[in-house]
Amino acid sequence: MANILLLDDNEIACRAMQGILTRGNHRCLIASDATAAFTQLRELVKFDLVFLELKLSKGENGMHFLQHMREDCFLKLLPVVVYSTVTHQEIVKKALSLKIQNYLIKPYREEAIYAEIEKAVANPWRNLHFEEEKSFCTQMGLKPGDLKKMLHELRVALHATIDPLQDCAETRNQKEAIARITPLAERAESAGAWGIVEYLQGLKEKLDQRNWPALTQSKDDLAYICLLIDCHLDRNYTPAAFYSEQERKEQEESKLRDQWLNADLACGPLVHPSDLERKLDELQAGPVIDTVSAAFLMNADGRAPSLNQLIDLVSKDPWLTAQVLVAANHLEHDDMTAIEDITLAVTMLGYEKLTAMAKLMPVVEERHLRVLPSTWAHYWMFQVAVGRVAQFAATNLELTDLAPNAYAAGLLHDYGRLPLVQQYPFCHQAIATYAKRQSIPIHEAEKKYVGWTTREIGDHLARKLGLPSLYCNVIRWVGTPEEAGDRAYMVALVTLARSLCLQNQIGYSGEPNLPLPSLEESPAWQILRNRVFPSFNLKKFESQTHNLCATLKQELSGRAS
């Protein structure tokens, strides 16, 4: 990847060049006048090549800019390709006499541009200001580390000299200025930094002639030299101005990800619990995965052939289900009991309200649920499987009062995961990784990172938004049904379904692979056994559930492959 400066004030030409360079995986900064171009060259340093239009509508023309570059002690080595509409023979000759890399005539040709870039980066111009490391170290009896140290110390000394030289310029103190410059030139020579030696010797010669403006200019020159040394010592250094918006976003994300993954939990949670509570209380709706939201909007706004298509879409996603149930329960309806049925909720809302809701949905990017090798799709598979197994269990255990809502309860059991990820996009990856590394349940890891569990987060937000309390209880107490009070049976049913899905390794829950109690000894079964006949065959039920999970893996794997 090369860093290119284009000096051209033609908007169409600039867009064309940017397109060509982007396709070639190169970066491009644009200057519309010579002053801006020279400023960028001096401030950013890391340009590999300049493409130059000679004909500019304002300021000095491209030829004057080129002459200005060739008079600069450092930029004179930077490759320049004139790519212009100007074809006059004398102009071409003059440009070639200024040692440009090539003179090309517009319109742009991709192959020519890529060839010029390849030529420019083959031997980077910045390296020409320094001795080649290997041969210089051999010649001088140095180790590469010693040479790097010498260059670093030279950089520190140069930077420390900037202000004293400005004082000399103000007081016209020629003797002190030369006394400060001379040892710097000697250190630069010892480090093989010939470009810097040339500059410092030239500055001394100008001082001999009492050229005080040159000493004043040394402030900017020395700052530039420090950047030049930085680039030489760190070949991967790239000034932030070169990065595209996407690259800047990726860098910021990388820092945030590292903060979460490398957190020192000995100092307490990364997030103060009250801060998280405040963020949750500010939410007007629960988030939905971005791709699911897009599919829902497309179907709702496009008037799917029937509501059945929307019902199917909603019933396969936990957070869509939650959104729809919350919205339906905010409608005026005759019977003021809670609306807990997905089909009824979608039907009550209708196309217009569903479309309006879809357009305002907060979203979470599915990539933030990725904990390799598992993806969002594997996580989705687990949620749906828990719902299906809960429904199956309610039927087989003849829990007729629980069966109608068992699927939705299982589907919604991990509702708190997405609101947490919405607030802290990289927390799930860090928490799941930590839980696996420490071999602890994921809710214990959550507590260490954010001071809350996702069960507590889900219950807090669900009650605030108005999700039916049946589901809030499941969200809060899943895993610990013995603490669920008078709604313990539904909580126990979902907890049982979740344990069976974990045992059968269907999808991905975020939990590390920890030993689980046998079904007969599980807290969930200790509660549910009171609702079944003494003759109930638990082993047969467990075998049937195993077969169901195998079927679900096949059925749902198309979404998770």
Instruction: Outline where 397-522 has alpha helix (H).
Output: 403-411, 417-423, 427-438, 442-450, 454-465, 469-477, 488-503
Torsion of CA 518, 522, 524, 525, to 10 degrees: 70
Q: If 0-12 CB within 10 Å is exposed, 13-18 middle and 19+ buried, where does residue 269 land?
A: middle
Torsion of CA 123, 127, 131, 135, to 10 degrees: -40
d(CA 395, CA 62): 81
Name, in order, each residue with C-beta under 8 angstroms of 12's C-beta and a sequence gap of 6 or more. Answer: none
d(CA 320, CA 342): 10
- pLDDT value at position 561? 41
Name, in order, each residue with C-beta under 8 angstroms of 143's C-beta and a sequence gap of 6 or more. Answer: 137
Domain locations in the chain as residue ranges: 3-126, 133-233, 288-364, 366-415+467-560
- pLDDT value at position 336? 66
- pLDDT value at position 300? 82
Q: Are 431 and 446 in contact (CB under 8 A)?
A: yes
Q: Are 454 and 443 in contact (CB under 8 A)?
A: yes
Cis peptide before 373 (omega within 30 of 0): yes
Tokens (6 digits) for 283? 């939410």
d(CA 315, CA 294): 16
Sites in the chain below the pLDDT cut of 70: 302-304, 333-336, 558-561
Fold for 3-126, please state it: Rossmann fold (3.40.50)
Would you tell me how many other CB atoms lie within 10 Å of the CB of residue 346? 27
Q: Dump strand ranges (E) for 90-132.
A: 102-105
Q: Are 69 and 80 in contact (CB under 8 A)?
A: yes
Fold for 366-415+467-560, please state it: Hypothetical protein af1432 (1.10.3210)
Name, in order, each residue with C-beta under 8 angstroms of 414's C-beta and a sequence gap of 6 or more. Answer: 318, 383, 454, 458, 475, 478, 509
- pLDDT value at position 72? 94
- pLDDT value at position 560? 43
- pLDDT value at position 185? 96
- pLDDT value at position 547? 96
User: Do the domains 3-126 and 366-415+467-560 sit in the same CATH topology, yes or no?
Assistant: no
